[in-house]
Structure 1
Amino acid sequence: GITPETLIDPAPITNDQDFIVHRLKETHDIVHVLTGFGVDGVGEIGLQAFNLAQNRSPLAVLLIFGGMLKTLQDDQPLEALLHAISRGFEMGLKAECVVGYKLEDGWQRPLSEWRAELKLPQALA
């Protein structure tokens, strides 16, 4: 079964890149809530655009490209996906660097306070 212990990555963090990757994994779900991006395909790609703007994540580039390619292959409209990419990237450029905050230590804080501190929009579309 899944336990908190099985979810902890035991790999040592030896450089800045390892730290960023570790924090992205640890905070992924929290950042979904803070940014308002859903956990559907479009929401995941929007969050990856946010990560790209924040951290220059190569994985984000790959996932965004894959999402666009799948949308084209499935002959689906691109508008929602492109809107999420644009929104996520712009939001990521304007926000504080989220991976630098100990979000997991602030469960008691209202979302509005976190969003204000991180310079994220309060009203999420």
Structure 2
Amino acid sequence: MAACCAGLLRGSGLAGPLYPGPYRHDMVAVLGETTGSLALQRLRDKMRRDAEGYQILRERPRIRLSTLDVAGLRGLPDGTFGREYMRFLEDNRVSPDTRMPAKFVDDEELAYVIQRYREVHDLMHTLLGMPTNMLGEVVVKWFEAVQTGLPMCALGAAFGPIRLKARKLQVLTTELIPWAVQSGLRANCILNIYYERRWEQTVESLREEIGILPPPSIRL
């Protein structure tokens, strides 16, 4: 078993940092599970200490197409969290159903914590105003690394920029990373928000509530 886990870790460690977004989400998922035990425990403890987070742990909601009122969310006014989340999914041609289930976390509660983290990833894109291109994914990984302490987020944040061209790299290092880090440090734990109950809230007000700074006005 140890040899098997070591092999998974090596393989995912090679692929994960270079593909921090949906490009190799299978390898990123394995990396997150095989390196993130302590971080997952800390996140679980944060959820247990927070009333809303603890409710999420107890009820274990899932973000899937089968649990979403897609038509209802599409019908919400522009600027609401639910409408902008639908717009993000449609514009970027992504689906919450692509998030892999936890396979290498034995503890049932910790397995849910990492599952929840994966399923709110696209919600972070929506709140941070980041697309799913390489630049946008790296920015989200910086925010998530600060927020979660998961090693795979830190690796994605550190190694993802390798693939960026000079102009985008400059924008990333001078504008976007400082903003993402500052937002990550000042924001409440992103796993303590019951997002399914916030669809009608505006993106702006939800950002303010969580502590996410408005995105820089930069063309991505």
Residue in 2 that maps onto 1:76: 166
Q: Which amino acid aligns with 1:27?
A: V
TM-score of the two chains, using structure 1 as the length reference: 0.77
The answer to whether structure 1 residue 20 and structure 2 residue 113 are counterparts is yes
Superposition RMSD on alpha carbons, in Å? Answer: 2.6
The TM-score normalised by the length of structure 2 is 0.47
The alpha-carbon deviation at position 106 of structure 1 amounts to: 1.4
Q: CA deviation at 1:10?
A: 5.7
- SS state at 1:15 partner: helix
CA distance in 1, matches of 2:128, 2:113: 18
C-alpha contact 2:139 2:177 (8 A) present in aligned 1: yes
* Correspondence list, 1:14-53, <5 A: 14-16=108-110, 18-53=111-146
Pairs aligned (count) = 118
Bigger radius of gyration: 2
From 65, 72, 75, the equivalent of 1:4 is 65
Q: 1:91 to 1:10 in 2, by over 3 A?
A: closer
Report the identity percentage: 23
In structure 2, do the counterparts of structure 1 residues 84 and 108 end up closer, same or farther at CA, with 3 Å as the change threshold?
same
TM-superposed deviation, 1:53: 0.7
Q: Please, which runs of 5 or more residues in structure 2 have no aligned partner?
A: 1-63, 67-95
Distance 1:4 1:36, change over 3 A: closer
Structure 1 stretches of at least 4 aligned residues deviating more than 6 Å after TM superposition: none
Q: 1:93 aligns with which of 163, 185, 195?
A: 185
Give distance in 2, aligned partners of 1:124 and 1:64: 18
